[in-house]
Structure 1
């Protein structure tokens, strides 16, 4: 048992290359049946790294996205995937209840949209290819399209339903590996004829094995013929990248005799032209087709660059025609009508054709067209996926999910507001009416309402726990708090409301009175009703006073206030007269002072007035003139009285 475990660990120790699998692993390889639950996202995956093929130094890790059915080598890849359009689409689709798409289905769906999605950018690029809102709008368009497809899914034929459930990865098993371990290979690396015969896929995979190309050292010249190879290219947003890679791994000996396997690039080329409108996103040709041709310097430059990029790409394809014609597979990513026309439209010496059986799309999401992205895509295509999953637990989870989905989901009952009784409804109506009348100080209307509705003397506002009813829970509390003496005396003497009631703070209506007049109203009510009417001590009302005493005291206070005001005015007038007399004496003294003054220094009255009014606004001058005339009139009156 321990030996079998060690053998399986040795087989899965490093990354597995599709075209150079270990003989022991390949000899017992069998195709997993479709009934086995391998197509679901694995709970733990061991993925091959993106580094060159090095079985001696590679260490498998376990990172995967269960939502997108994708595995990763390290955390950095996982983070990049989380920012990709594929992951963002599946998150939004799950929230909307739409069907989730794997990488192949997502790439195919995006290819049907005219405007391309920006995707995550390559780390080598410093400038953005599209604005974020352009990507979001395309994701929304794809979500709407998938929602429409899901609504029409009931009319689909069984063949169409099976096509929707196809996975981009074919899973194999090996008895030398644990039962919960499966090996996955992308279906795209098989030809159309091989895919039509699933029972012969294992044999086809064995025929694809290639001998590594050995090189003694780095100074040796590479052989001219590398045998089987594939052509890969990407175009979008003014970026173009193409690469021809040999399928046979190249083995190089490093220091110490360590053999290192890596991919051999036969040819590669990248182009970049400014063809994308930076702010709005999308190609210039797409904007011209939608809104008409613009006549700006930027639009002219983008049109020229589009034509130049098309010419560069077609020239490169013609130069590589011999290698492209002998390639086993052709992988192309060209989203948008403009990009597809650049590659597949008819022109003299056309190289790529839409009906080529070797033509494939990338069965996973890709980023900006760069050489690094092409190499990453090649390694993703040719590495074997190792899935480790507990099939029994997965089958039980699927069965539980089917049972849960079969049961109708009942919406949670909404909490209903408690129904009020007739008494509570009447109390709420009385509360609103009485509070409105008190705030408007309508004493006659308030007394009439209380009398007609037979309001109890101990009536409290409803509901009692309302914030506005905490401080003033009764009509008398509210009237006292509003400083309305007329309402207070009317409610106590005529409506017979209880002044001993207390609020939640233990205060009576008298305690809420804010001025002396309101407090006097309580004392007058005590005098008019008598000591036997209420417990005035409990109501905190002081000794009673009559209305006549209150009026007499108010008249006396008013008279005293008038005398104080007259005395203050008299003192103020005397002070002003003394100041005027002192000023006049000072002027007379200066006028009669000894010594002579130069005639040129003396100013007339008009000049003095002009000096005083210099810099003043017209309104200030008019005010000063009125004050001068008033002083002159007072002086004339004073002289007349003195004579």
Structure 2
């Protein structure tokens, strides 16, 4: 048997089946109501949602369907929880702050009542979530439930066939119970103006074959089909533009009502299609009420054709409603037959137990690992909020910024004018530079000495009497912040860890001489040779003596240059010509000659500067060229 009908499986096969679902079992939902077969439209009726409550007549049943209790149970079942009784519902209403109406009048469908029911649903949902333990990562669900039969047979059945309240672990017992009793389904499809509907028998009861005529002798009995179409209907209306897609209603909602003749026809087609489907459902109302499942394939807007309208046969929260768990094509009678076959035929595969075990291990290995529980991190330290400055503080900061800019760039004349106007207000020349300026030095003298501006340093020392003994601030490690003193100073470098002064920050000899000159001219102003770390004073006589030494040094250099030039000139003078002996072979002056002259020529240019050597070499080559021209002229 290559195909198995899910409602007529062999007993031998059922006894050997075991569930194949390993993980990712969905949570149980409320059980689907059992269909109530009604033989007449005037008999007793029951609500399949509200625990089978019965009604005397149709009017009472319709009034119940409009009540808040029924609508609450419908939404509760859609969320996977059990419906409540009318007494429990009253207690829930009493505990809710918002009052909702329990009347069965037409006003019960108002927006206020819907909002109250939604609020009650939200409240109960939050409570159930807070009581439920934390779950692991949500795993993907498949549309099929698989069963295994040793040694190598697997059956797959769509989960939508089972009752919605049955847990996945109970699918096997549910499957065994599906093998008895007659069952009918209602199947509807609508798309693009096409409609197809059918009432089908998917399982025959024992009474279905009792009224058949007795077979003649020696005539083979025809096998009964697994499924049978009891009623079917298809029709089509013009609702969509050719090669455009989308219904006219959707286009009107998005862009407004079109005024073309085609648009009017499509609107009429949509209305006619809706009326035809609802009239057909009304005609099949008795059969639909007796169906076990109601399968509907429709888009969001087309679903309103079947449910959620006055005097509708199929209620919005009906537990029998299902959607096709696989893709479908254009609604036709043949497509309904294909979908019926797909739903009622079990999928088969043939894998050994070893192959199934390997498949399970691969699946478990592919599951995402649970994320580690985040540990509450220590609160980050709050960033200091920027202090709002007053107008006076902003002006003061602006003045300090201008002052430091003029000192660091050596702009002496603007600095003098600014200091005459603002010097006293800023605290004098020896005041410490504020930390909020970002300057690493402490005084203006240190800034000027480090920048290397001689005139600004001299003005600060001579005119403003800036203090040269203030220490340079040390870094965190105990070392000075400024270690780039530039040229080598004539003062000894301070040992590590000791303080430095403005003199130590000077990068050039000229700036350091200003400190020494001021120390020699005004020795009583500061402790120049101690706290100021100036190595020695520089008097006018010392400067003259240093200049004299420079002149002597320059004169000696000039004399050496003159001696070198004289030696080079002597080396360039031509040597006396010596006539060769008769027996000696005279060298052809036009023949090849060695570049660079005689071998002793290198001794004549020894000790010369590169410029003099190049000059001598050019003279030699010129004389050699002149000699060759004279020989050719003879």
Task: Give your verdict on TM over 0.5.
Answer: no
TM-score, normalising length from structure 2? 0.37
Higher helix share: 1
Q: Which has the higher contact order (CA 8 A, sep 6+)?
A: 1
